Structure 1
Amino acid sequence: MALDDPRTSPDAEALTLRYGAEHPAEIFSNPTIAGLLAHRSVRAYLPDPLAPGTLATLIAAAQSAPSSSNLQLWSVVAVEDAAKRARLAELAGGQRHIAQAPVILLFVADLARARLIARDAGAPDEGFDYLESFTVATIDAALAAQNAVVAAESLGLGTVYIGAMRNQPEAVAELAGLPQGAVVVFGLVVGHPDPAHPAAVKPRLPQSVVLHHETYALDAQREPIARYDETARAFQTTHGQQPVGWRALIITRGRNAAALNGRDRLKAALRALGFALK
């Protein structure tokens, strides 16, 4: 392998942090890939405000993500007000980092704008009643948000996604002043990580579980999942957590409706917020 081959990677440590011992032997390496491998969810923040221009930079990055048919069926509500962030933390089950950080970005699956355009033109808007339209809006929002995460981390900022914005979607929609046909599908906390409480790179499933060649293989996943469970236990022990492993997280989440923390009624909430989901 040539010395200038990008696979002569200095990122063995980064790969070990991301996968444990069961990591690819070599990958291409550059600053973008190194930044992606180093991603971690930050749950402890300094209260310092973001530098001027930061929010516009993150949204520019978000808007540079792909959008299905260029429909751009998403929006963002940036919440900086301390009282509102405290309320959102409460709605999310007491996640203090929402109140700690200077801003949370509420990513909105937004069919309200599309309906406005159609109705102003006197055109029918039945197509937006279908599950496909909501799915496109949600995917667009997720793609945009991940671009914002990469941009934020490149600026030395920390982020963490907040799926618990779906615990009480009507209350979140009211706080954000959303019209019918718009819903917050997740939040994204952005801020300066607290150096006193550094976040860790969490190991992921080995590629032998998630990467399938030509056809999907389910039964072959058992052994690498069992090995990953041990990697997860070791990580949890090292970071002062209960060493329950990874499979226990899956089992707990799928046990019953109560494990969804209110999201078992998401379909009803979405319909109340103006999504027919035909």
Structure 2
Amino acid sequence: MSEPGPAPDDALDGALEDALSAFCADDGAALLVALDFDGVLAPLVDDPTASRMLPATRRAVDRLGALAHDDGAAAGRARLAFVSGRDLADLGARADPPVGAYVVGSHGAETGHATADGCDTVPLELTAEQGAALAGLTAALDAVVVGRDGAWVQRKPSAAVLHTRQAGPVDSAAAIAGADAAAEHYGLDALHGKDVVEVAVLHTSKGEALRRLRDVVADELGATAVRVLYAGDDTTDERAFAVLGEGDLSLKVGSGDTLAGHRVPGPEHVALVVDRVADALTPTA
């Protein structure tokens, strides 16, 4: 799709407005609004622990979360989900999802839902072989970043992640090549995102996670049809866009080639999108 021109801070383009109206149509279908976190709800930052939603996005997400899980007219029609590459504990701490929201971490390897006491997660268990591969992989990535300023390794329950956002171009290129080599050594896929390379010992993706969430929503709400809105900003989100079909709404946040049908410039526009859905779910007098 083509790049859009600059949009006013308080407006969405007409094609997206029309798509949102069609998505929210009250025709008996359930709605699943699934959102990536970094770069979508929160601006990208050098320090992942400092990532927070924009105030407008926070308000919109909390509003939609309350509407999607209340006992009023919206009940039985919508659900909210957070789908992220972050591990689930980290996602819960940064995103603070509204009670009832589905949470998916580690690109689909971890799942659960938000409660008043935090995230209730489905236990993740690795086989002995997977555990050994993860230990060896993590050690290999640790060796890759030695002496490379700004490059570091994040540990996840089923993956190791190379971060290069703060590294110079030479150190970044060398570290990425080392991560790719480590993945190949263990027969694993290296998932490249924005200044990250993630290598997981479990084979999953955001696309597979969306397929599962659609089925979960259909079962929970007794719906024969579930329309999905998914917003993402990174190359890892293309696997989610790829599984969406007729009636669904795919939204790319930021620049870059994409399979998504629509695009907005940044997280501040995602707040407008979420508010449009909340408007449609708000009971009228």
Return the TM-score normalized by structure 2.
Answer: 0.24
The structure with more helix, counted as a fraction of residues: 1
The structure with more strand, counted as a fraction of residues: 2
Return the TM-score normalized by structure 1.
Answer: 0.25
Larger Rg: 1
